[in-house]
Amino acid sequence: MKFGISKEPINIQEVIDHVVQRNAGAITTFIGTVRELTKGKKTLFLIYEAYESMAVKKLEQIGTEIRERWQGAEVAIVHRVGKLDITDVAVVIAVSTPHRADAYEANRYAIERIKEIVPIWKKEHWEDGQEWIGDQLEKVSYPEGKPEAKHLDE
Protein backbone atom coordinates (compact mmCIF):
# COMPACT_ATOMS: atom_id res chain seq x y z
CA MET A 1 0.00 0.00 0.00
CA LYS A 2 1.21 3.43 -0.92
CA PHE A 3 -0.78 5.23 1.81
CA GLY A 4 -1.91 3.02 4.61
CA ILE A 5 -2.42 2.01 8.20
CA SER A 6 -0.75 -1.24 9.21
CA LYS A 7 -1.45 -3.55 12.12
CA GLU A 8 1.73 -5.48 11.29
CA PRO A 9 5.36 -4.27 11.38
CA ILE A 10 6.00 -1.96 8.43
CA ASN A 11 8.11 -3.29 5.58
CA ILE A 12 10.37 -0.29 5.06
CA GLN A 13 11.71 -1.40 1.70
CA GLU A 14 8.21 -1.85 0.36
CA VAL A 15 7.37 1.78 1.21
CA ILE A 16 10.53 2.96 -0.53
CA ASP A 17 9.79 0.82 -3.59
CA HIS A 18 6.55 2.76 -4.12
CA VAL A 19 8.45 5.98 -4.87
CA VAL A 20 11.16 4.59 -7.14
CA GLN A 21 10.94 6.47 -10.44
CA ARG A 22 13.26 7.07 -13.35
CA ASN A 23 13.25 10.85 -12.88
CA ALA A 24 14.26 10.69 -9.24
CA GLY A 25 17.68 11.87 -8.19
CA ALA A 26 16.97 11.30 -4.52
CA ILE A 27 14.79 9.31 -2.17
CA THR A 28 14.50 10.38 1.45
CA THR A 29 13.09 7.99 4.01
CA PHE A 30 11.82 9.07 7.41
CA ILE A 31 11.40 6.36 10.01
CA GLY A 32 9.59 7.40 13.16
CA THR A 33 10.43 5.15 16.13
CA VAL A 34 9.18 4.72 19.67
CA ARG A 35 11.38 6.66 22.09
CA GLU A 36 11.97 5.49 25.62
CA LEU A 37 12.46 8.82 27.40
CA THR A 38 10.30 11.91 27.02
CA LYS A 39 11.25 14.78 29.33
CA GLY A 40 12.88 12.28 31.65
CA LYS A 41 9.83 10.05 31.86
CA LYS A 42 10.24 6.44 30.90
CA THR A 43 7.82 4.98 28.37
CA LEU A 44 7.17 1.25 28.63
CA PHE A 45 5.20 0.91 25.40
CA LEU A 46 2.69 2.77 23.23
CA ILE A 47 -0.68 1.96 21.79
CA TYR A 48 -1.51 3.68 18.50
CA GLU A 49 -5.11 3.93 17.40
CA ALA A 50 -6.44 5.31 14.11
CA TYR A 51 -9.71 6.28 12.52
CA GLU A 52 -8.48 4.14 9.73
CA SER A 53 -10.67 5.04 6.77
CA MET A 54 -10.22 8.77 7.36
CA ALA A 55 -6.54 8.42 8.21
CA VAL A 56 -5.86 6.79 4.84
CA LYS A 57 -7.69 9.63 3.08
CA LYS A 58 -5.65 12.21 4.97
CA LEU A 59 -2.38 10.44 4.17
CA GLU A 60 -3.42 10.49 0.52
CA GLN A 61 -4.21 14.19 0.87
CA ILE A 62 -0.70 14.82 2.17
CA GLY A 63 0.63 12.99 -0.87
CA THR A 64 -1.44 15.21 -3.15
CA GLU A 65 -0.25 18.36 -1.36
CA ILE A 66 3.35 17.29 -1.80
CA ARG A 67 2.97 16.49 -5.48
CA GLU A 68 1.44 19.95 -5.96
CA ARG A 69 4.23 21.75 -4.11
CA TRP A 70 7.26 19.80 -5.25
CA GLN A 71 7.31 19.04 -8.91
CA GLY A 72 8.00 15.47 -9.84
CA ALA A 73 7.64 14.20 -6.28
CA GLU A 74 6.36 10.74 -5.43
CA VAL A 75 5.25 9.92 -1.90
CA ALA A 76 4.39 6.83 0.12
CA ILE A 77 3.41 6.80 3.81
CA VAL A 78 2.53 3.89 6.10
CA HIS A 79 1.65 4.32 9.78
CA ARG A 80 1.53 1.48 12.26
CA VAL A 81 -1.26 0.92 14.82
CA GLY A 82 -1.54 -1.36 17.83
CA LYS A 83 0.97 -1.98 20.62
CA LEU A 84 4.48 -0.78 19.91
CA ASP A 85 7.55 -1.35 22.04
CA ILE A 86 10.55 0.93 22.44
CA THR A 87 12.52 1.21 19.15
CA ASP A 88 9.61 -0.14 17.07
CA VAL A 89 8.85 1.67 13.83
CA ALA A 90 5.68 3.77 14.04
CA VAL A 91 5.75 5.49 10.67
CA VAL A 92 7.65 5.33 7.41
CA ILE A 93 7.60 8.15 4.86
CA ALA A 94 9.39 7.85 1.52
CA VAL A 95 9.66 10.75 -0.90
CA SER A 96 11.44 10.81 -4.23
CA THR A 97 12.15 13.93 -6.27
CA PRO A 98 14.43 14.89 -9.14
CA HIS A 99 16.74 16.84 -6.76
CA ARG A 100 17.77 16.07 -3.18
CA ALA A 101 16.80 19.37 -1.51
CA ASP A 102 13.16 18.84 -2.44
CA ALA A 103 13.19 15.27 -1.18
CA TYR A 104 14.33 16.40 2.27
CA GLU A 105 11.90 19.32 2.43
CA ALA A 106 8.91 17.39 1.21
CA ASN A 107 9.59 14.53 3.62
CA ARG A 108 9.73 16.96 6.54
CA TYR A 109 6.49 18.50 5.38
CA ALA A 110 4.83 15.08 5.40
CA ILE A 111 5.65 14.27 9.03
CA GLU A 112 4.56 17.71 10.23
CA ARG A 113 1.26 17.37 8.37
CA ILE A 114 0.70 13.92 9.86
CA LYS A 115 0.90 15.52 13.28
CA GLU A 116 -1.75 18.05 12.25
CA ILE A 117 -4.43 16.36 10.22
CA VAL A 118 -4.21 12.56 10.31
CA PRO A 119 -6.56 10.98 12.87
CA ILE A 120 -4.08 8.78 14.71
CA TRP A 121 -3.53 8.85 18.47
CA LYS A 122 -0.99 7.36 20.79
CA LYS A 123 -1.48 6.24 24.33
CA GLU A 124 1.65 6.36 26.43
CA HIS A 125 2.10 3.68 29.06
CA TRP A 126 4.51 4.52 31.86
CA GLU A 127 5.47 2.67 35.00
CA ASP A 128 3.02 4.80 36.96
CA GLY A 129 0.14 5.17 34.56
CA GLN A 130 -1.12 5.81 31.07
CA GLU A 131 -2.50 8.68 29.04
CA TRP A 132 -3.75 9.50 25.57
CA ILE A 133 -1.42 12.09 24.09
CA GLY A 134 -2.79 15.01 22.15
CA ASP A 135 -1.80 18.35 20.80
CA GLN A 136 1.92 17.65 20.65
CA LEU A 137 2.38 20.74 18.57
CA GLU A 138 0.66 22.83 21.24
CA LYS A 139 -1.79 23.98 18.70
CA VAL A 140 -5.52 23.83 18.52
CA SER A 141 -7.62 22.67 15.64
CA TYR A 142 -7.42 22.82 11.90
CA PRO A 143 -10.95 22.43 10.62
CA GLU A 144 -9.81 23.09 7.09
CA GLY A 145 -6.68 21.07 7.44
CA LYS A 146 -4.97 24.31 6.66
CA PRO A 147 -1.91 25.37 8.59
CA GLU A 148 0.96 25.12 6.26
CA ALA A 149 4.60 25.84 5.75
CA LYS A 150 5.02 28.33 8.60
CA HIS A 151 4.37 25.60 11.15
CA LEU A 152 7.30 23.63 9.88
CA ASP A 153 9.64 26.04 11.59
CA GLU A 154 7.97 25.97 14.98
Q: Give residues in contact with another protein (CB under 8 A).
A: 32, 48-51, 53-55, 57, 79, 90-91, 111, 114-123, 131-136, 139-145
Nearest residue (CB) to another protein, 24 versus 59: 59
Nearest residue (CB) to another protein, 57 versus 99: 57
- Minimum CB separation from another protein for residue 16, in Å? 18
- Minimum CB separation from another protein for residue 110, in Å? 10
- Minimum CB separation from another protein for residue 38, in Å? 12
Nearest residue (CB) to another protein, 44 versus 133: 133
Give residues with Cβ within 8 angstroms of 130, minimum separation 6.
123, 124
- Minimum CB separation from another protein for residue 137, in Å? 8
Q: In what order do the strands lie in the sheet with 26-33?
A: 3-6, 74-80, 89-97, 26-33
Euclidean distance between the first and the last CA atom of the chain, given in angstroms as a whole number: 31
Give one word for 61, left, alpha or beta, with left for phi > 0 and alpha for psi -120 to 50. Answer: alpha
Nearest residue (CB) to another protein, 23 versus 121: 121
- Minimum CB separation from another protein for residue 122, in Å? 5
Nearest residue (CB) to another protein, 2 versus 122: 122
Give the SS3 label for residue 52: helix
Q: What is the length of the chain?
A: 154
DSSP-derived letter for residue 143 is T
Give the SS3 label for residue 28: strand
